[in-house]
Amino acid sequence: MRISYSSLDTYKTCPLKYKFQEIDKIRAPKNIEAVFGGVVHSALKYMFERSPLYPTLDQILDFFRNAWEEKTASFNMEEEKDKIKAYYDEGLVIIKRFYNNNHPWNFNVIDLESRFQAEIEDEKTGEKHILAGIIDRVDKNHEDNIYEIIDYKTQKRMPSKDMIDQDLQMSIYHLGLLKRWPQLSPNQIKLSFYYLKHGEKMTTSRSPEQIEKTKKTIIKTVNEIEERKANNFDFPPYPSALCDWCGYRQMCPMWKHLYESKYAKLDDDQIKKVAEEYFELKKQNEANNDRLDELKSIIYGFMDDKKIERVFAEQGYLTRNTREQYSYDLEKIKEILKPIDKWEEILEADEKKLDKILSSLPDDARQKILSLRSSKKITTLTASKKKLLKEDSEE
């Protein structure tokens, strides 16, 4: 399997988005935030290209302007005019500040947008996977013979140092650089995120033990993806604040009904009334539980028919959540855990405690326990009283 950090991150963020993007190969239109990040990255790459002289600040700004006009030409200028101009102005500020603080002739840049491929092997199955990616920039300090991987970030939030030290992206880049230049030792590489909106650089490193842990994390995720594909498992949507920037919203079962409401009134008024009544009954006492169950059945039937997982009403939206609940044959599991001194940790037959310690067990014990596990799907309906985005709620 061929995988990248970006696809791993997509799967972790939302398995359904991963399916749309990586398996179904559905191209989503880029939003203005993605275009902004791409154009800024291109301008900074141009800044460090010496052919034969480094470009001046004015030339870099001209490069940014031209690239910006080209990449935003397809956007609706009337609807997004203010947002496009705000990002454009911010891009100019970022580039000017970065140039003034990082004159290109002061750095020994040895590669830009460096592509890598690293082969990692599943020790259990012997199956090999290709890890691919692109590193924004690689510098070399001749004095201490240290190679620095630099990744530009245009996000607003700066993470903590602890998050940087555990970041999967930089672990993958470290692994990729070692594969590309195997003569390097791990301690010759340092890893830096440059947060452009703040003008701050945060640096970390990775030990050989951390790199091995990274490989195991990647293999575990790849195996989970392949198991879902092979067994026709669902790739469920994980709704979050990131949905506001997702290009697949109109086909996502969590958002599809909202967009259908604008263009196709297929029983829409009826289901909205059902959803509204559901909200009203939620305010009353337990005497209404029977009616709530009836409404759930109507709503679930509508969801099944429409192949969606969320319906929208004026007061908010209703989300169907399905999860697996596991149960174990605890008498047989006691025989497995007793010899390895783990049974005391889950005394009183607590299955939640057992779930928590699973990842810390030896592989053979974990596999035996999993073979004794059974599951059932638990479905709940969550009511969210949240205001919709202005552009979504307007008809």
Length of the chain as a residue count: 395
**Segments making up each domain of the chain, as ranges:** 2-104, 109-230, 253-323+380-393, 330-371
Q: The pTM is what?
A: 0.69
Q: For position 78, what pLDDT does the model report?
A: 67
User: Residue range 31-47: average pLDDT?
Assistant: 94
Question: Token match 């190969």: residue?
Answer: 25
User: Residue range 33-41: average pLDDT?
Assistant: 94
CB 118 within 8 A of CB 109: no
CA end-to-end span of the chain, whole Å?
A: 43
CA distance 37 to 195: 12
CA distance 227 to 122: 14
* Structure-token pair, residue 147: 């190679």
Q: Where are the alpha helices (DSSP H) in 14-130?
A: 15-18, 32-47, 57-71, 77-101
pLDDT in tens, 235-279: 999 999 889 889 899 899 999 888 775 555 557 777 888 888 888
Q: How many helices (H) and strands (E) does the chain have?
A: 15, 9
> Over 50: is that where the pLDDT of 390 sits?
no
Q: How confident is the model at residue 59 (pLDDT cuts 50, 70, 90)?
A: very high
CB 87 within 8 A of CB 40: no
CB 369 within 8 A of CB 327: no
CB 320 within 8 A of CB 300: yes
> Over 90: is that where the pLDDT of 384 sits?
no
> Over 60: is that where the pLDDT of 155 sits?
yes
CA distance 12 to 56: 41
Q: How confident is the model at residue 351 (pLDDT cuts 50, 70, 90)?
A: low
DSSP string for 51-68:
SSSPPPHHHHHHHHHHHH
The mean of the pLDDT values for the chain is 86
* Structure-token pair, residue 134: 């692109």
Q: How confident is the model at residue 350 (pLDDT cuts 50, 70, 90)?
A: low
User: Residue range 209-238: average pLDDT?
Assistant: 89
CA distance 304 to 298: 10
Q: Which fold has domain 109-230?
A: Lambda Exonuclease; Chain A (3.90.320)
pLDDT in tens, 92-132: 999 999 999 999 999 999 999 989 988 899 888 899 999 99
* Helix, coil or strand: residue 148: strand
CB-side neighbour CA atoms (13 Å) of 85: 6
CA distance 366 to 360: 9
